[in-house]
Structure 1
C-alpha cells in the first residue's frame, strides 16, 4: 500500500500539532504538500521551548497554518471547522501522563473528555471524510493475556488517564453509530524518539544524567521480574497513522480501533542499558546512569505488549524499528539539540 494518503486538495486538521506525535505527523504530511491546519494550546505541562522548536520547523512549510487555541473551548473549535472546513481530522490533543493524572485530574476531564466531545460535535455538524483520534495502550490496564488485542476486555483502567482514553473510544463509537462519522481510534504503545516528551522515561533519564542526578526506576529493583514495555519508535507510529488515514471504515457503524505498537516488549532494564550505549556513542565517552529504585507507581502496569495483526491485515504494516536503532537516533538528536558536547 502506498503510504501517501490519496486525498488531493483536501484539508487536514491536526490537534496537538505542537506535540510529539502531532509534530511528526504534520511534518510527514506537509512534506507531501498536503494542507495542514494545526492547533495547540501550547500548555506548560513540559518545556514550552520544545513545542516552539517543533512549530518553527513546521512553519517552514507553505501549506501549514497554525492557530493557538484549546479544544475544550467549543466556540473555538466550531469556528475552526466553519472557517477551514477540514476533510480529515486527527485529534492528538490531550493531557498525557499516567502519574500526572493522580495530581491534576481536572485537566484530564477538561482536555480529554470535554475537548474530544467538542471535536465530535464539530464533526457531527461539519461532516468529514475521516476522524482519527489518539487512544492509548493504557486502556488495557493490568490485562494478563498478551499480546493485547483490540478485541480484549478493557473495562478496568488503572488510571484516570486510561479511563479518559477508554471514554474517548466509547464516545467515538456512539457518534459513529448515530451520525455515521467514519472514526478510527489509535492505541499507541510507549512512543519514543527525537523531539519527544520530556516526561517520558527515556527523555527524563537522559535529562537526569546530564544534571548529575540518579534516574528513578519504578520496578522495586526487581530485575528478575522487570517491567516490560512495547517501545514504539515515532516514525513507525507515523507510518501506521498515515496508512490508516486511507482506510476509513465502511461498516454500518464506521468505527474501528487499532493498536500501533512494536509487537516486541523489552525489559525496562534492557531499554536503559541500550540508552546508555546510545548516549555513549553520541558523546564519545562511556555513559552509566546512577540508579535509584522506587516502588511501582500507582497507575503503572507491569507489561504492555501490542498485537499488530489487525494493523497488518488492514494496511500491511508492522512497526519494526529496534530500540538500538531508535535510541541511537534519539541520543544523537538530544546531544545535538542541547549542544551537550560543548557543555561540561
Structure 2
C-alpha cells in the first residue's frame, strides 16, 4: 500500500527547510522560519513556514501561514497549492518524488527528533541570566534612537556576551545584546528576542542578522503592561517603545514581525485595538489582517499610521512633540483624555 498522507506530511516536516528551498526558492530563512511572499513563490515576507518543532500539533515543523490571505496548512497543502494540483493523489506522488520514495509502502522512520534549539526553556534561561538595562549598552542604544523613558518593569534586559552564530557552518561569536521577553497573554515567557549591539552602543552589531527571536512566538509578543479593554500592537520593539514615550499608560505589545502581528492572540476582554502600522507592503497586509480578526471578535480596530517608515523614525525625525501631534489625531476621543492627556501632563514610566 502507498505510504499514508499523514506519514508523508511528517517526513516532509522533518525536511522542512529542504522543501522550502525547493518549492519556495525566492524566500529565505530567518531564525526558525522560512519567509516568502506566497505559495506561488513570489518574493516577499507574508508567508512563513516553521522549520523546526514536533512532528504534529501546536508548533509543528512544516506548519505555515500566509498572513496576507489567511491560508494555512502543512507541507502537503503547500505543495498542492504551489503546483496547482486539484487531486490528492497528484500531491502525494509529488511528495514521494521529492522525498525520493518508491510508491509502494515503506515503513516510516520511528526515531524521535532531538529537542529543537531555541526552545522556550532556552529563552527563559537567556532572559534570567541577563540583567536590567539601566546603565548598560542597551540603554545607550535606545537613547540613541530617541527612547529615553523605559520602565523598570518593562520586559527588557541586557546580556554583555550573547551568543551569535551566522549559520550552522560558522563558529559561534559573542556580542552584547538587548534581550526582550516574549510572553503569552497570561504572562508566561515563551520566547526571547535578541538585538545584538555594536560595542559602542551607538547601533546594532555589524553582523548579517542583528535581530533574531527564539522560542514559541506565534500569537505572542513582547508585552508592555497587561492589556484589558484597550491595547496597541505593532511589529517592532522600538516602534512600540517610541509610542510609549507619548502614551506611557497604554498597554502595548510588539509582535516582532509583520507575520506575527497578523497572527497575534487578542485578550478576550479587549474592546478597542490600536494597530501601529509600518509603512511597507508587509506592514499594511499584516495590519489589514489583524484588523479583520479584531472586528470578527467584536473588537473595534484603529490604525495608527506613521508619517515616515515607522514610529521610531517619526520620533527621531519629528521629536516627541511632533510624534504626539501626529498620533493625537488618530486616537479615539476617550483615549485622548485617558492616555495622551496624562502623558502631556508629564506622567512617564520610571527609569
Q: TM-score, normalised by structure 1?
A: 0.29
**Bigger RCO of structures 1 and 2 (CA < 8 A, at least 6 apart):** 1
Q: Which has the higher strand share?
A: 2
Structure that is richer in helix per residue: 1
